[in-house]
Amino acid sequence: MKIEAYENGVVIVTLCDKASKNTFSEAFIKGVIEVFEHTRNTPRYKVVVLTGFDHYFICGGTKQELLTLQEGGADFSDMPLYELPLNCEIPVIAAMQGHALGAGWAMGMLCDLTIFSEESVYSSRFMQFGFTPGFGSTLVFPHYFGKDLGHEILFTAREYKGRELKKRGMKMRVLPRSEVQSHAIDLANRMALSSRKILVKLKTDRSRNLRDHLETTLAQEVAMHKKAFVGNQEVLERIQRLFNDGGGIQENESQKKLAFRSEEVQSEETDEMLFETVLKKLRETLAEELSMQAAQVDDEAAFIEMGLDSISSATWMRQVSDHYGVSMAAPEVYNHPTLIRLTKHVIKKGKEQGCFASTKKATSIPISSKKKLHGDLVDPPQRVFKPREIQSEETDETLFESVLKKLRETPSRRAEYAGSTG
């Protein structure tokens, strides 16, 4: 953890457990507790800005912690880490410049002010693993997002980009990732113009409703966990299958092979056309994931150099899987680290899994030269012209006479050709 304290009473806390990517590892938990203990014992502090590193804010529990909870070895109330911002005497601003998952998102929402990143992923992913939400989520999400969106966040466990939440009417500030921390510091500096006493009083009044209801909510969530989480074998299987130690979720239920093929991958495509079609789609979706223009994407650049992280790669691969019906996991991005290589891999897997129809080599006859017969495309009869009949020096009149004579001599072939074009 990194602490930067300023003379005006603003303290910036950067959560940077890079080894765990800011999941609730032992080192992370210990560091956060020490930071808030230090804040409580430093009366000159007025405002805390809580932020993460790179593309990560707080990414929730580790796989081992989930397994321990599933076994009944503990419950999440034994780890009151997420409550620290709410119980802190002075205001805490969550500068969520990076991804926030599960209990990490709940912890951000228990801060006094929350700023989202347009590009980052936010997910209350409890139900993804098959157990009910905890860590105060059932209180804070309906409280801040309203009944409909709040319940959608909890029940679907889906991932949202900050820009999508903004479009959905979320009232909290959403900014480009590069601007989140500076905006939070600006807010903190303005707040620090007031005395600590006034700020503490304002926070106490503003937080009273959440503080009064949180204990009851936590007890209800723990009770739900005992029924739906502890000892549940389906939950155990999902944790083992879906949990990605990089902070994301390896696959989604929607990654099961789809029974249809994407519209733009046609059965008549050649290998070259299929490659260009899939490459174009991957380029567009990658650009969307990284909040950049498709024209800015270098097809041969390494994904990590373009800023793709473990969580973004997981969400991107799910989008690719959903679109083509090809089962793709996040680690495959690192095994095929450029668009060119990944495109070849997607096509190879797609053909193996029956998601792409067989392609064929390009022919010299374009589609436009084919005639339609009973709704199907067929090749027109091939006309063989003999050089001795049509000479390059013939006039229009002699050419006309030559062709007319030939047509008179072959009435059956003429009728056949007329039928094929009609």
| Nearest alpha carbon to residue 50 among 124, 108, 117, 135 | 108
Q: Could you give the residue numbers annotated as active site? A: 225
| Residues 359 and 274 sit within 8 Å (Cβ to Cβ) | yes
Residue 397 burial (C-beta neighbours within 10 Å; 0-12, 13-18, 19+): exposed
Contact criterion met (CB below 8 Å) for 154 and 133: yes
CA atoms in the 13 A half-sphere facing the CB of 185: 15
Q: For residue 1, give every residue at least 6 positions away whose Cβ sits within 8 Å of its Cβ, in sequence order, or none.
A: 13, 14, 15, 16, 17, 31, 32, 34, 35
DSSP code per residue over 44-55: T--EEEEE-BTT
Residue 351, H or E segment: helix 339-352
Query: What distance lies between CA 83 and its chain's CA centroid?
Result: 27
Count other C-beta atoms under 10 Å from residue 409's C-beta: 9
DSSP class of 8: T
- For tokens 């006094």, the residue is 112
Token pair 């959608």 is found at 152
